[in-house]
Amino acid sequence: MAASTTNSAYWKGFRDGIPFILVVTPFALLFGVVATESGLNLLETMGFSIVVIAGASQFTALQLMNDNAPTLIVILSALAVNLRMAMYSASLTPYVGKAPIWKRAFIAYFMVDQAYAMSIVTYETRPEMSVAARVSYYFGVVTPIVPLWYLFTLVGAMVGQSIPPEMALDFAVPITFIAMIGPMLRTPAHVAAAVVSVALAIGFAWVPYNLGLIIAALGAMVTGAQAELWFARKAGS
Amino acid sequence: MTDTATTWFIIFALGIGTFVLRFFFIGIIGDRELPAWVLRHLRYTAVAVLPGLVAPLVLWPAATDGQPDPARLAAALVTLTVGYLTKNVIYAILGGAATLYLGLYLVG
């Protein structure tokens, strides 16, 4: 019984992860292309995608390495982009924190934006799921995503400059993220948080080392929490 | 460009650092109960980070040297609208991609 429940949760996650193939493939391809154009060899390019497995920060590191930034600045800036992962980790904790430690370690390694976004939506809308089912679901979501992340980094690194800029692959990343944001705007509090996030990110874009994003995220989280309380009071009065 | 040893140092420092960020809460806090006010803030994590991550990429695309681009702005708007109305990620992506290519064809 328990095994069949976790099994079906895995396949549900797998199906929910499939659409992200359209997103991850061009992103990985783009990283492979840009990394080799920047002078990284095949092994180094693959090293980034397998060891780091976080596209936005990989692009950040690459950009700063091209600019000959000091090594420490490269690492800190790319890590700042990934600070959101700590927030994802905290946000997933109430749902999968009771799973065995080694499973949580794998959840951490595979914690990409798409896996987090898809899982958290499912956990919130299906509170009856067991911890084991949630973990299976999560690994289901990453199954179609992660191997293609590795594979298409490799393809990108090998085909290199033969992809014309007219393909506008650069915009695959923003479109993917925006597409995930739309369905997240479920309540006025979520909308308020998103609006504040955009406004602060643009307003603080001048802050070095991507810390503007962290300021924006913290401001937006407080906004969402306060808006939730405000709307609850209004509904209650 | 950076030499090979430095490149590998960056790869592993970034890999380890990123894993620590990802594992920190889920690994350390584990099954301890979090207070209500913390959970209330965590509910807004995704919607607080992703819009802020995307906004500068939409407004100042690297591909156009940071100049705002009508095709990309339109694509972003369509993606958000379709995603909000249909609650479907894949329709939103397809709508945005179609708008982008149409826009680039018309403008570019």
Residue of A113, A175, A224 lying closest to B75 (CB–CB): A175
Q: Is residue B37 part of a domain?
A: yes
User: pLDDT value at position A190?
Assistant: 95
Tokens of A26: 């061009």
Nearest CA in chain A to B40: A225
Q: Which domain holds residue B59?
A: 33-107
Structural domains in chain B (count): 1
Alpha helix positions (H), chain A = 2-17, 21-37, 42-47, 55-66, 71-81, 83-96, 101-109, 113-125, 131-142, 146-159, 172-184, 188-203, 211-236
The pTM of the full predicted model, rounded to 2 decimals, is 0.72
Residue A69: is its pLDDT beyond 50?
A: yes
Q: How would residue B96 be classed by pLDDT, with cut points 50, 70 and 90?
A: very high
Cβ distance B22 to A61 less than 8 Å, yes or no, reads no
Q: How would residue B53 be classed by pLDDT, with cut points 50, 70 and 90?
A: confident
- Domain boundary assignment for chain A: 2-170, 185-237
Q: How would residue A150 be classed by pLDDT, with cut points 50, 70 and 90?
A: very high
Q: Which residue in B89, B93, B100, B102 has the most chain A C-beta atoms within 10 A of its own C-beta, making it the best mutation to test that interface?
A: B89
For A206-231, how does the pLDDT look when each residue is reduced to its tens digit (9 = 90+)? Answer: 987 667 887 898 999 999 999 999 99
Q: Is residue B50 part of a domain?
A: yes
For A154-164, how does the pLDDT look when each residue is reduced to its tens digit (9 = 90+)? Answer: 999 998 767 67
Q: Which residue in A23, A145, A181, A228 has the most chain B C-beta atoms within 10 A of its own C-beta, making it the best mutation to test that interface?
A: A181
Cβ distance B27 to A117 less than 8 Å, yes or no, reads no
**ipTM of the modeled complex:** 0.81
Q: Is residue B4 part of a domain?
A: no
User: pLDDT value at position A1?
Assistant: 43
Average pLDDT score, chain A: 88
